[in-house]
Amino acid sequence: MTNHSELSSNTFSQITASADWKGILSQLPNAHALQSWTWGEFKSSWGWSTARYALMIEGKPLAAFQVLKRKLPRLPFSILYVPKGPALDYNDAALRRVVLAELETVAARERAIFIKIDPDVVKSWGLEPERPSPIGAKFLQELKQRGWRFSTEQIQFRHTVEMTVQRPEDDLLAAMKSKTRYNIRLAGRKGITVRQGTPDDFAVIAEMYRETAVRDNFTIRPLAYYLDIWQAFYEAGMAQPLLAEYEGDPVAAVVLVRSGSRVIYMYGASTHKERKRMPNHLLQWEAIRWAKAQGAEIYDFWGAPDEFVETDSLWGVWRFKEGFAGQVVRHIGAWDFVKRPFWYWLYTVALPKYLNLLRSRSKND
């Protein structure tokens, strides 16, 4: 644990060099890809400004966070967001308190309506019975005591499914549901092949992603958004596209993102073609194999239902991922520290209701 006097005599400093930031994150646990310099620079080209802060003692980083800032039009206020952060050893109670205090200070200094965090702090593992995390419970208590509010606006997936991949492939396959193993092998027998992609494939993957969104009824951003981040991650050595093909024709794809010891299945897309040949099963298996070959410890399936019931929008996605026998990991979710309650209510409650009313009227016109 960190010495309290050491913490009190040190302050956070702003980090402005990419090499410094990368070195800091490499020495911290829980440093997510969305805390990377690459992600911050990408978001800076899509309407946000970015600042990065680190707490150092004798040249060693103890904590860090990248905060995204969006200035609100015609108002002297901003909103702040720390995606999948901050990064620190959450076992250290004194450090947790110092970091929360710094986040609150940043919110005041930046004239924020609120600052949002959604760290990868585990609340519990598994389905039923859940296995609670003592650290998660303590951190939740600290957030509430300091006046942080649980946010209904979860920007990232709250829960996920993880697989430990540094095991023999036969063991990984044996743990899967028999139907999943069957579909993986069926895809190979039915002529599906999987290859590693390059940036030349990103346009094709983006079109597949658009088709997936229409078919599965979810909203996506402009395709340029995905093309930008895939290219940025690829150039930073963090991304690898994989494509499933039938007779040379792409029918499904994933873009994997590597961060530390974790590989994240962050983007997936498919067409309506050759679905009976089960391309997504073989594609997912090859993604797991790629993560294992890269030396990753964890393969993160990136997303699971908020509630494990058939009415949840992610139920179908969960049933697919469930077959690979990963572990359900429930996180504490996003939390807001509110500096301006009236404007927070206006921004999070009144304005969304007004916009929904306008949308419903336009549909009825």
Nearest-10 Cα torsion for 201, 205, 208, 213? -170
Cα separation of 326 and 165, whole Å?
10
pLDDT band at residue 11 under the 50/70/90 scheme: confident
Mean pLDDT of 325-338: 97
- Are domains 4-124+132-154+333-364 and 161-330 of this chain identical in fold? yes
Which CATH number among 3.40.109.10, 3.30.70.250, 3.40.630.30, 3.40.50.2300 corresponds to the domain 161-330? 3.40.630.30
In this structure, of 9-13, 42-46, 120-124, 274-278, the range with the lowest mean pLDDT score is: 9-13
Q: Which CATH class is domain 4-124+132-154+333-364?
A: alpha beta
pLDDT band at residue 181 under the 50/70/90 scheme: very high
Tell me which amino acid residue 150 is. F
- Tell me how many degrees the CA angle 230-82-63 measures, rounded to the nearest 5: 105
What pLDDT, on the 0 to 100 scale, is given for residue 359?
59
pLDDT band at residue 308 under the 50/70/90 scheme: very high
By DSSP bridging, strand 327-331 and strand 122-125 are: antiparallel
In the chain, where are the structural domains located? 4-124+132-154+333-364, 161-330
Cα separation of 280 and 320, whole Å?
9
